[in-house]
Chain A
Amino acid sequence: MRIVFKTSYDADIRLFKHKAQAFWYLLLFALAILLPFLISDFLIGEATLVLIWAICGMGLMVLVGQTGQASLGHAAFMAVGAYSNVLYQEHFSMPFLLSFPLAGLTAGVAGALIAMPITKLHGIYLAIATLAISVLAEDLIVIMEPLTGGVSGLFAPDIEIFGFVFNRYGNPVELYWLVLFITFLIVYLYRNMLRSPIGRSFAAVRDSEVSAKAMGINVARTKMVAFAISCFITGLGGALMGHFATIFTNETFNLIMSITLLLIIVVGGLGTIHGAFFGAIVFVMLPLVISLTRDALTVFADSGSVTIPGLESGLFGIILIGFILFEPMGIYGRWLKIRTYFELFPFYRKDMFRRQKSYLKTERTR
């Protein structure tokens, strides 16, 4: 166990706590860059998908994990990102380098506009309002057919940067590196945001609105900024998802996707950047694992391939219930416990991470 003595205020907000931590993260990043040399092209495609889901997850994490505002409607902002990205490229013939950040900005502005009336809502009401937004967005895409192509959807052209073309099937490795680079930028932005006053005020609002107000934080404005940043990142993720899927319709960004996004960050671990990545890995790998198990079983039983429709979402639901009941901090929380166990060996005690006993009071009288 390493104890860091903080001798200046800067030590509190340093990017890495100590040199060893910086070393491990750099090693991880190097490994991520070298990944294409280690695994097949198919798996690289899956890894790209993991990164895209992680970006979207990080977007939602800003809102749910950092600011404590539940949202069941983030697929709507993914849709804004995906559609505006393609529309900017088609109608204004913008290059990807311009349309991509603009798509994120569009989603961010949309998020801020929607946040204005609904940030005064709390807990469950906020969840329902965002749920309604997700449903409305799906129908609005159909209604705005001349722009969005309605139910037949939009076709996303290949990403092109200074004449170099990225295609999911043509050159998956280059696409992976591009997405990795964008992911790196967003993680860097996210990490810095947490160190800045705005990130601190997010945490204050999450932990107690009353005390945040007492400390001089404008709660309504903070929530709005959280919505804007969250939707900006999610919009970027949505734009990438559009390119990755090559064709997308109103059905792509439906309510189930909103909920899936929320489930991803809960399984991964709320309130941490790691959580978004862990959750995305679980969600993307689950269908792979299922199909592998199925193949293995068919070899054994020789009964022909058995397909059970809806198995993935059912299994995902069961995994999620398990996590909420037994490990509310998600995979990252479990990892922290394991690490603490080894760091303190043999002094780890079972109740070190015990939840405090709490009782609910009604929110109906305020």
Chain B
Amino acid sequence: MDILQLIVSGLANGCVYGLIALGFVLIYKATEAVNFAQGDFMMLGAFITLGFTNADHMGLPFWLSVILAIGIMGILGYLLDMIVLRRMFGQSQVAVVILTIALGFVIRFIAGLIWGHEPQSLESPLSGLELRFGGLVLGMDEVWVIIVTLALTALLYVFFARTKLGIGMQASSQNQLAAYYMGIPVKRIHSMIWALSGVVAAIAGILFASKGSIDPTAGLLGIKAFAAAVIGGFGSLPGALLGGIIVGLVEPFAARYMPAGYSQIFPYLILVVMLVVRPHGILSQIQTKKV
């Protein structure tokens, strides 16, 4: 029973990592850039919802604030790309990495300025409820996290594989110039993908905040999500989820069966081993070009 409990909480945690990793992968898939501020996006999404719904802020109904927060994060993502990142168009990946790191600093600063640095928890109807199967106690929030993550991953997967827009997005990442020639509005597509990743970040943030408390440094969780994305295979949506779940499952077991101090290094240890042994992840997206 104990082990089952560990598995469920690990799965729920892993799904949050997977959701953040999904944001990385989305942007990587469509623009070939990596958004190091994705974790901070998640934090911002959570705080916007919190600001709308919590009684000591604005006290709006929960579902209304969720919709508002998702909408705001989408618009924010679009504007961010339009105003800031479009100027970086065609520049090297590393420049974009440094830019998004700096963006993360700024977002953390702004969130601290508006909502303070104390940990706060989201007043959500999802938290507090419990489901019981025999001896197994499942938090309603954990079940929700797992369901929403699976649904979202499936939805995005179909979007990229089947719809015209999704295929256009993939094309624009593989060769920007060729995509232009094919009539794909590359710049607009970049903005749209940033909006989409803002939406995913907001959802991840809401789920994360209803599982526990949140403060402006929560964005550093993004590093674990990074590990997840790399383990699963950067550029693969199911891979992101898979990697997230692996990291999420390893953590509670390592914490339980390893001496203190060793458990937290496990996700990164897997990451380093993975990078050395199979650098492109479990579900690798890299094909060697044949001449």
Please tell me which one of the listed residues A129, A259, A363 contacts residue B32 in the complex, with CB atoms under 8 A apart. A363
B98 & A266 in contact (Cβ 8 Å cutoff): yes
B34 & A136 in contact (Cβ 8 Å cutoff): no
Please tell me which one of the listed residues A140, A255, A317, A357 contacts residue B265 in the complex, with CB atoms under 8 A apart. A140
B279 & A121 in contact (Cβ 8 Å cutoff): yes
B286 & A125 in contact (Cβ 8 Å cutoff): no
Please tell me which one of the listed residues A121, A317, A318, A358 contacts residue B90 in the complex, with CB atoms under 8 A apart. A358
A360 to B92, CA, bound (A): 7
A321 & B102 in contact (Cβ 8 Å cutoff): yes
Residues of chain B contacted by A318 (CB below 8 angstroms):
102, 106
B188 within 8 A of A: no
Q: Which of B173-209 contact A (CB under 8 A)?
A: 173-177, 180
> How many Å from the CB of B65 to the closest CB on chain A?
25
B234 within 8 A of A: yes
Per DSSP, chain B at the interface is: helix
B219 within 8 A of A: no
A88 within 8 A of B: no
Q: Which of A330-366 contact B (CB under 8 A)?
A: 357-366
Residues of chain B contacted by A308 (CB below 8 angstroms):
113
A362 & B32 in contact (Cβ 8 Å cutoff): yes
A364 & B99 in contact (Cβ 8 Å cutoff): no
A158-186 vs B, Cβ < 8 Å mask (1 yes, 0 no): 00000000000000000000000000000
Residues of chain A contacted by B235 (CB below 8 angstroms):
364
A139 within 8 A of B: yes
B175 & A131 in contact (Cβ 8 Å cutoff): no
Residues of chain B contacted by A325 (CB below 8 angstroms):
84, 87-88, 99
B110 within 8 A of A: yes
A359 & B271 in contact (Cβ 8 Å cutoff): no
A355 nearest in chain B by CB position: B91
B289 & A365 in contact (Cβ 8 Å cutoff): yes
Residues of chain A contacted by B93 (CB below 8 angstroms):
123-124, 360, 363
Of B32, B216, B285, the most chain A CB neighbours within 10 A belong to: B32
A310 & B276 in contact (Cβ 8 Å cutoff): no
> How many Å from the CB of A169 to the closest CB on chain B?
31
> How many Å from the CB of A42 to the closest CB on chain B?
27
B74-86 vs A, Cβ < 8 Å mask (1 yes, 0 no): 0000000000100
Please tell me which one of the listed residues A121, A142, A263, A310 contacts residue B98 in the complex, with CB atoms under 8 A apart. A263
B277 nearest in chain A by CB position: A117
Residues of chain B contacted by A313 (CB below 8 angstroms):
105, 108-109
Per DSSP, chain A at the interface is: helix
A132 & B272 in contact (Cβ 8 Å cutoff): yes
Number of A-B contacts (CB under 8 A): 149
B115 within 8 A of A: no
B275 & A255 in contact (Cβ 8 Å cutoff): no
Knowing A143-B262, A359-B90, the reply to whether A129 touches B275 (Cβ < 8 A) is: yes
A27 within 8 A of B: no
A366 to B99, CA, bound (A): 26
B154-170 vs A, Cβ < 8 Å mask (1 yes, 0 no): 00000000000000000
B106 & A317 in contact (Cβ 8 Å cutoff): yes
Knowing A136-B265, A358-B91, the reply to whether A314 touches B175 (Cβ < 8 A) is: no
B223 & A135 in contact (Cβ 8 Å cutoff): yes
A233 within 8 A of B: no
Residues of chain B contacted by A135 (CB below 8 angstroms):
223, 265, 268
Q: Which of B234-278 contact A (CB under 8 A)?
A: 234-235, 261-262, 264-265, 268-269, 271-272, 275-276
Knowing A143-B262, A310-B112, A324-B98, the reply to whether A360 touches B90 (Cβ < 8 A) is: yes
A362 & B268 in contact (Cβ 8 Å cutoff): no
B286 & A316 in contact (Cβ 8 Å cutoff): no
A132 to B261, CA, bound (A): 16
A299-317 vs B, Cβ < 8 Å mask (1 yes, 0 no): 0000000001111011111
A143 to B32, CA, bound (A): 37
A325 nearest in chain B by CB position: B87
Residues of chain A contacted by B108 (CB below 8 angstroms):
310, 313-314
A118 within 8 A of B: yes
A47 within 8 A of B: no
B68 within 8 A of A: no
B224 nearest in chain A by CB position: A135
A328 within 8 A of B: yes
A-B contact pairs, 20 of them (CB 8 A): A70-B97, A124-B234, A135-B265, A135-B268, A142-B261, A143-B262, A262-B101, A310-B108, A310-B216, A314-B109, A317-B104, A317-B106, A318-B102, A325-B88, A325-B99, A328-B95, A359-B90, A359-B177, A361-B176, A365-B288
Report, nearest first, the 10 A-B pairs whose CB atoms are least far apart: A314-B109, A317-B105, A320-B102, A359-B176, A358-B90, A317-B106, A359-B177, A317-B102, A362-B174, A117-B276
Besides A135-B265, A359-B177, 13 new A-B residue pairs in contact (Cβ under 8 A), listed by A number: A117-B275, A118-B275, A127-B34, A127-B97, A132-B271, A133-B272, A136-B265, A262-B101, A314-B106, A314-B109, A315-B109, A320-B98, A325-B99
